[in-house]
Structure 1
Amino acid sequence: MQKKEEKQEKRYLSVINKILLILAGVLLAYNIKVYYDRVSSSHYEIKGNEIIMKNDNKYLQDFQLASLSKVLSQNSQTTKLNAQLTYNRINDFRDFFASLENLSNLKELSLSIGKNPIVNEQVQAASLGKALAKLTQLNHLNLELDSLFNKQSIQVILKELSKISGLTELRLSLISCDLSGDGLQSLYPLTDIKNLISLELLLIGSQLKEEEMKHLKTILHRLPKLKKLNLNLYANKIQVDGIITLSGGLFQQRQLQEFGIDLYFNNITTNGTESLMGVVGSMENLTSLKLGLEFNYIKNEGGIFVGKGLSQLKKLKDLSVNAASKNFGFDGYEAIVTAIENLPPLENLELIIGVNKCGVSGAELLKQALFKQNKLKSLKINFLENYVGDAGATYVAEGIQYQKNLEELSVNMNQNSLSDRGALELARAVKNSKSPKIVDFKVSSNEITDKGIKDILVLLEQALPKVDLLQVEFLDTALTNSTRDDIELKYGSVDKLQLKLNTIPASNWE
């Protein structure tokens, strides 16, 4: 009898345990659902007819993407979508793309899906292309597919994309996609977008060499007449012959009003610079120019060609020149700065001319140019490792103080053999500047003492009432631990002030 009761009790307990396990499972599933609903809801924001999804690098997975797809399905009236979905763990975007098709009123789309471990690449490329082709009202598109598709898949997507007749502005990012050989032929469908007036191509690290440039030349020949073109060829190997070929394509786009090209580390040398700047100088309608020629061995002669090309641009308002290169020299630097001095009044100027060792004389040339270009709204000077010393810093400071309309100021004088005196002159120029709202001030890797840094901060503190943001960098100076602690105590929580400083050895505080 007792054994029978024990068996019944065990069966009873077993049933109870099963029920408890089931309840626990249901409760766990419910909590997980609530948690992921809450997490997913934090992954998007709706503002009127705009949806914003800023979820890059959040390690989203497919089941979390499903909730974002649902958001698209439930908001078909949306006219603007910004979906940043890069650097996640998403394998399959097809449901998301299917939901995207339903946004028939969409006019602006920014879709970033690169750096995801997708599967069935060709199928997903076809799904994306099909979705894009349905967005017939679209006129602005930013499409980022970094490290995602091969050239065949890219061509499938762009062929469908070219069916959007009203598309006027396109930014296409294919960073680290292998486009070597005939890979750039996958971009040929772009030439069928007849109303395109603005094109930005990011082909960074796409394994492009001289021979691939013939395809880019063909694309530029076949494109409609653009108003804006930006080519980022950073970290490829197009070399001299490549840039000469590309220049032939750019010759067909001389009507451009805005042009940018980044050729960092492509080894175009002096001859390539001559070819490029010959075309740039003939773009008579240019109002905005961005030249990225850093580390291309353009030497003095190349700098002279840059100056000659710039001097012909009489409508220019915005100019960015990056000619930092250890194989540069004073004559090339002088040609560039003198050309800037003689341009009609600019509104925005960025001059990245570091590691040229232009010295005091170079700083004085810049001062003269800034005296002429005194109506700037934005001024960014990067003089890294030019060894201008205190005298040169004083010249630069005088040029800054001569500006009357500045809204943004950035000064990088790192590694320029400055002592307290030169750094204080620059700080005084910042303090006395009339109206900048954003200031970035760098004097790292100079021999500035504890007292000098404290005096600089006293000056800069006086600029705080008129600025929205003041960023200050003192890295690798002669700062001691005790002064660092004093500065942290006094300025660590000051509104609108962002400080970066360390000691030697470096501290953990920034």
Structure 2
Amino acid sequence: MGNNQKKSEQQNNTQNILQDLMKSNLKAQTHIDLQLKNYTLSNKQVAQLNNSLVKCQKLKSLVLNLNKESISDDQINQLFTKYSSIKKYVETGNNVSNDQIYSQILFFLNIFYEGNHDCQELRLNDIEAQGNILLEETMSNLINLNSLQLNLDGNQLGDGGAVWICKVLSRCKTLNNLNMQLWKNKIGDRGISSIAEGISSCAQLTTLTLNASANLFGKEGAFSISTTLSSCKMLTHLDINLFNNQIGEEGASAICRVIGSCQLLENLKFVLCNNQIGDRVAFCFGTALSNLMSLINLKFCFSKNKISDEGVLNVGLGLSQCIQLKNLDIRMKFNKIGNDGASAIGSAIGNCKYLDNLSFFIGGNQIGNDGAQNIGLCLSKCTQLTNLDFRIQQNQIGDDGASTIGTALGNCKLLTNLIFYIHANQIGDNGAQNIGLGLSKCTQLTNLELALGQNQIGNDGASTIGTALGNCKLLTNLKFYIYANQIGDNGAQNIGLGLSKCTQLTNLDFRIQQNQIGNDGASTIGTALGNCKLLTNLKFYIGANQIGDNGAQNIGLGLSKCTQLKNLDFIIQQNQIGNDGASTIGTALGNCKLLTNLIFYI
């Protein structure tokens, strides 16, 4: 479809939306949700919109979505399918535009894949000047409006457009709930200061969401945000995202100090990733947390900065005061945190005994056994957890640290969902055995992601892990990554025996490549596959081992029973498989008649 035709269709759709609004009973409207994504309103349409809104005297809630996007839903889904390991790191949701999601994906691909990927930097299209969409006079008439959401991602508003937002907000005296999505709008210090001034006019706010990530403001803009927050005394919910700006230590510290004065907060989300901040900011944030003892939900993201033990110690002290927390999400990966900082955070988590949901991302730091042991000792006190996402990969953890963390898992008997990433450490059999012993007590699990790859695990550790899998009989979704270790036939056989008991699985991602597995181990794993008859999605990576025809034949026989498969990713190359093994696998594929997607390397 040509650009001119697409623009014509968009304008027609815009007109239809506005016509529907004008035909409605405007005087009775209490909630209006205008989804005008990728549309540019003409002067006539702006007038129609404002003339309609002026008549909505009972209007309490207004959503205006004018996000500009060049990335489709399908493109995002394809990227998440291709790079599934980074999906958890990316902020999504109804308010996040596809272009913003794409930029986050690119950011994490550059970290985890070190630039070795095929995604290109997003180039925003030139945006036609939109002008003032909501007029001051219009907003002045909406005397009952208590909720306003402006989705303006990628509009390249600049400082001039920010002045328009300020004027709109200055008329919103009755707002309780304000949500502004302003990602990548070329807003500098002057612009964010104008927006902050507008927010200050909304003296009755209890809920504020401000996503100003990927803009151009620095510390002066951050100072303006801090001044505004100091006037928002009634806030119970604050969500502020300043990812990828240039605010620096002074600006971020000022915001942190003021957050600590918002003592009515029950929900706080604070994102400061990739801002070159260090211990000074972490110290101020810790002090702020110590004042927020009413918090129930807390998420803070300080990843890819320069924070070390010195700053994290105070974060831990502050967090330890937040004993009412039920949901906690900590993201501090790729900093300079060592044992002391990890121990402080661990101690704080141990104080949060009411936690139902915990996400703890602290991979890519400098944590050794001492830090991991203290994290484990404190995690063992969180006995009410039902959902745990624990990522401590790419550190320097050995058997002692892994063992204590494993014991802690055994105390979390109510878990139904567990993501446990401890790959790329220095864990051997003893550590893996204790992880397995702990995991074996988590019998209520329905979803499990277990990443133990790139360690030093042999048969003994793998065997105990396998036994643990066999105890998790309720699993419907399993990701099992134990690649690049030292596992031979005996360990693989016990993994297979455990897997064979997981008969409720519908989704299995099984990666045991780069080990020392021969025919016996492969055969038992193959038999296990045959027990998983409900599978619809299977990723099976067992390449770079020592498997011959006999092992491949048994894998094929097992695969032939997985007749419900729709998606199969099967990689078994770099083994010693000949014609007999390949033939049986080929016959098995013929039984998978429902397949729509197949990736096959032999």
Say which is worse superposed, 127-136 or 214-223, in terms of deviation: 127-136
Q: What is the identity, as a one-letter code, of the residue corresponding to 1:63?
A: N
Say which is worse superposed, 99-108 or 234-243, in terms of deviation: 99-108
* CA-based RMSD: 4.2
Q: What is the identity, as a one-letter code, of the residue corresponding to 1:349?
A: L
Q: Does 1:269 align with 2:269?
A: no
Distance 1:303 1:368 in 2: 18
Aligned to 1:336: 345
Shift of 1:83: 5.4
User: CA 1:408–1:135 in 2, change beyond 3 Å: closer, same or farther?
Assistant: farther
Q: Secondary structure at the match of 2:244?
A: coil
| Alignment match of 1:168 (pick from 150, 164, 176) | 176
Q: Which runs of 5+ in 1 are unaligned?
A: 1-35, 41-57
Say which is worse superposed, 307-316 or 162-171, in terms of deviation: 162-171
Distance 1:383 1:492 in 2: 37
Shift of 1:139: 3.5
Aligned to 2:413: 404
Deviations 1:241-298 (A, max 9, x none): 1222223432432332222211112222112221221122122322222221212211
| Alignment match of 1:65 (pick from 8, 11, 14) | 14
Q: 2:223 touches 2:255 (CA, 8 Å); kept in 1? A: yes
Q: 1:281 touches 1:309 (CA, 8 Å); kept in 2? A: yes
Superposed, 1:105-504 pairs within 5 Å as 107-115=60-68, 121-123=129-131, 125-127=132-134, 137-148=144-155, 149-187=157-195, 188-388=197-397, 393=402, 395-416=404-425, 432-443=441-452, 446-447=483-484, 456=495, 459=498, 462=501, 465=504, 472=509, 474=511, 479-480=541-542, 493=564
Shift of 1:198: 0.8
Distance 1:69 1:484 in 2: 60
User: CA 1:391–1:154 in 2, change beyond 3 Å: closer, same or farther?
Assistant: same
Shift of 1:320: 1.6
User: CA 1:172–1:414 in 2, change beyond 3 Å: closer, same or farther?
Assistant: farther
User: CA 1:97–1:253 in 2, change beyond 3 Å: closer, same or farther?
Assistant: farther
Shift of 1:219: 1.0
Q: 1:97 touches 1:131 (CA, 8 Å); kept in 2? A: no
Instruction: Provide the TM-score with structure 2 as the length reference.
Output: 0.63
Q: What is the identity, as a one-letter code, of the residue corresponding to 2:12?
A: F
Q: 1:444 touches 1:476 (CA, 8 Å); kept in 2? A: no
Superposed, 1:16-35 pairs within 5 Å as none
Q: 2:342 touches 2:374 (CA, 8 Å); kept in 1? A: no
Q: 1:152 touches 1:186 (CA, 8 Å); kept in 2? A: no
Deviations 1:412-441 (A, max 9, x none): 234345689977876786675244455444
Say which is worse superposed, 205-214 or 469-478, in terms of deviation: 469-478
Superposed, 1:20-59 pairs within 5 Å as none
User: CA 1:342–1:474 in 2, change beyond 3 Å: closer, same or farther?
Assistant: same
Deviations 1:362-407 (A, max 9, x none): 4433332222111113211112212545665554443233223334
Q: Which runs of 5+ in 2 are unaligned?
A: 70-124, 455-482, 516-540, 544-551, 575-597
Distance 2:16 2:164 in 1: 27
Q: Secondary structure at the match of 1:172?
A: strand
Distance 1:140 1:435 in 2: 41
Q: 1:108 touches 1:141 (CA, 8 Å); kept in 2? A: yes
Distance 1:177 1:475 in 2: 45
Q: 1:168 touches 1:198 (CA, 8 Å); kept in 2? A: yes
Q: What is the identity, as a one-letter code, of the residue corresponding to 2:167?
A: K
Percent identity of the aligned residues? 23
Q: What is the identity, as a one-letter code, of the residue corresponding to 2:484?
A: E
User: CA 1:186–1:360 in 2, change beyond 3 Å: closer, same or farther?
Assistant: same
Distance 2:493 2:142 in 1: 58
Distance 2:348 2:290 in 1: 12
Shift of 1:333: 0.8
Shift of 1:203: 1.4
Distance 2:59 2:390 in 1: 40
User: CA 1:429–1:209 in 2, change beyond 3 Å: closer, same or farther?
Assistant: same
User: CA 1:73–1:427 in 2, change beyond 3 Å: closer, same or farther?
Assistant: farther
Instruction: Provide the TM-score with structure 1 as the length reference.
Output: 0.73
User: CA 1:453–1:228 in 2, change beyond 3 Å: closer, same or farther?
Assistant: farther
Q: 1:413 touches 1:442 (CA, 8 Å); kept in 2? A: yes
Q: Secondary structure at the match of 1:200?
A: strand
Distance 1:499 1:395 in 2: 37
Q: What is the identity, as a one-letter code, of the residue corresponding to 1:212?
A: G
Q: What is the identity, as a one-letter code, of the residue corresponding to 2:186?
A: D
Aligned to 2:41: 92
Q: What is the identity, as a one-letter code, of the residue corresponding to 1:447?
A: A
